[in-house]
Chains A and B, each alone.
Chain A
Amino acid sequence: MTEPRTILVDCRGMACPGPITEVARAYRKAQNGDILDILATDSAFTSDINAWVRATKNELIGLEENAGVIRASVKITAKKQ
């Protein structure tokens, strides 16, 4: 087990195939304890990330919007490892 990391997932300017697919990609490679720091400009992202966190039972530790950029911080806690 390596030290927890903060993984930047920059999805700004990305509409299709969608930031949530990048989150799923980063999740595969992350470990419990890691933080995904996600940036997105796609307006559907807020509801997507909320649904994703609820379903996967990871922890949403921050969600804010600033000048059209949505920033979500997710702590990975629920992976079966």
Chain B
Amino acid sequence: MRRILVLGGGTAGTLVANLLARELGAEIMKGDVEITLLDEDGNHVFQPNLLYTSFKGMKPEKIVRPEKKLLHKRINFSIDRVTKINFTNNKVITESNKTYIYDDLIIAVGSKIARDEILGFDEANLDFHSSQENALKVWERIQEIRKGKVVVGVSAFPHKCPPAPVEAAFLLEEFFKKRKLKDNVEIHFITPISRPYPDPTISNTIERHFKERGIIIHPFFNIDRVDSEKKIIYSLEGTDLEFEAMFVVPPHKAPQAIIDSKIGDEDGWIPTDKYTLLVNGQKNVYAIGDVADLRTSKSGVTAHLEAVVVARNIIADIRQTGERCKFTGRTHCPMDVGYGKALFVISTYDKAAKDAKPTRRNLLMKKAFAQMYWTAVGGSLEWLFDRYFGEDARECFIEEPI
């Protein structure tokens, strides 16, 4: 019996488990393969829509579904938080004190908000990254703002969804403009680096749009601490910024179980082979999605494409077909620039992003992807994604027998 254990029921974990369960039906029925997925809370949030709860008032209950309903019936599912992972004896321990032994382990526990990283940050800031409840608080707060500086941007790298801070700036500008408050409300974008987006080409486009729309950029602004009473953000570079409201993307780290298990770097990101997605030094442990320390975006699309690579490699190994797939680092990050338009940031490990123009068609595509999400994590739309991404997403070949 080959025991495949998946940790985390988000984008990456749900898809990889479903792809395996769909394809390995015969092996599972015969009792040769078993698939188990553990998730800490049993709810699956479609996180891209947190942006629309925060800045467009989308109902939070629309963006969450029970994980169990998204999983193939051949998957054993438990709601149980993982607390320890031990590679030496192939064991995973959970909060309820259960021990799971695995033959293949797929770690897909995503990322968490590091609330205590910056002094005063959490008391002053409202974030649209962590939950539907917090996203709703952002929506409620922006209704009250009549004047002053609204600060958005990045507190630290890496964080999930690189376009999200920029999207927040664009959607807020649209929000205040439509309410005729633009003369009284200023939008300020802070970032620790020289430009609003890490990729220079995309950044140029954003800077142009920021300028046109009066969004003020503060480059090289590393938050040191925040005084929530005086409403001032202090930077490590010695500059201060007063604010009326603050919606900055908080620092991220890996879930505590990864840090406690000492299998990641100091923030818990797991050192992972960028092509095979095997955890460095391991032959039967994969890290996919946000938790992996990969030189690509922490995004749902990359999590999805990584899940496919791992599923295909495990299936090939079980069936001894000799197929091997490598991930290309492909990103496909939509960026909503407001007023009904979006652009896509498309790159791979080897190809930097090309300049992209915001269009209405792109926003429609972003919305179409969102509509398809719940079906897509079930694993039945791979024929469509294969057509869309083609060979840009993975390189597959048959390994010659030695």
Stretch at the interface among B37-45, B81-89, B131-139, B191-199: B191-199
Which residues in window 186-238 of B have CB below 8 A to A? 192-194, 198-200, 219-220, 222, 224, 234-238
A25/B297 in contact, CB under 8 A: no
Residue B194 contacts which of A27, A29, A55, A57 (CB distance < 8 angstroms)?
A55
Q: Is the interface of B mostly helix, strand, loop or mixed?
A: loop
B193/A16 in contact, CB under 8 A: no
* Residue A15 lies at the interface, judged by CB distance under 8 Å to chain B: yes
B222/A20 in contact, CB under 8 A: no
B236/A79 in contact, CB under 8 A: yes
Count residues of A near B (Cβ-Cβ below 8 Å). Answer: 24
B331 cross-chain contacts in A, Cβ below 8 A = 16
Number of A-B residue pairs, CB cutoff 8 Å, is 77
B236/A17 in contact, CB under 8 A: no
Count residues of B near A (Cβ-Cβ below 8 Å). Answer: 29
Q: Could you tell me the distance in whole angstroms from the C-beta of B259 to the nearest C-beta in chain A?
A: 15
* Residue B158 lies at the interface, judged by CB distance under 8 Å to chain A: yes
* Residue A21 lies at the interface, judged by CB distance under 8 Å to chain B: yes
Can you name the residue of chain B whose Cβ is closest to the Cβ of A13? B295
Interface centre among A13, A78, A79, A80 (most CB of B within 10 A): A80
- Do A24 and B192 form a contact, CB below 8 Å, given A15-B349, A17-B157, A55-B219? yes
**B interface list, Cβ under 8 A from A:** 156-158, 162, 192-194, 198-200, 219-220, 222, 224, 234-238, 266, 295-297, 331, 347, 349-350, 352-353
Having A20-B193, A29-B266, A44-B200, one finds 13 other A-B pairs with CB under 8 Å, namely: A15-B350, A16-B353, A18-B199, A21-B158, A21-B193, A25-B156, A25-B158, A27-B236, A28-B222, A48-B193, A56-B222, A78-B237, A78-B238
30 A-B Cβ contacts within 8 A? A13-B295, A14-B295, A15-B350, A16-B199, A16-B296, A16-B352, A16-B353, A17-B157, A17-B158, A17-B162, A17-B295, A21-B157, A21-B192, A21-B198, A22-B157, A24-B156, A24-B222, A27-B222, A28-B192, A28-B236, A51-B194, A52-B193, A55-B194, A55-B237, A56-B222, A56-B236, A56-B237, A57-B237, A78-B238, A80-B238
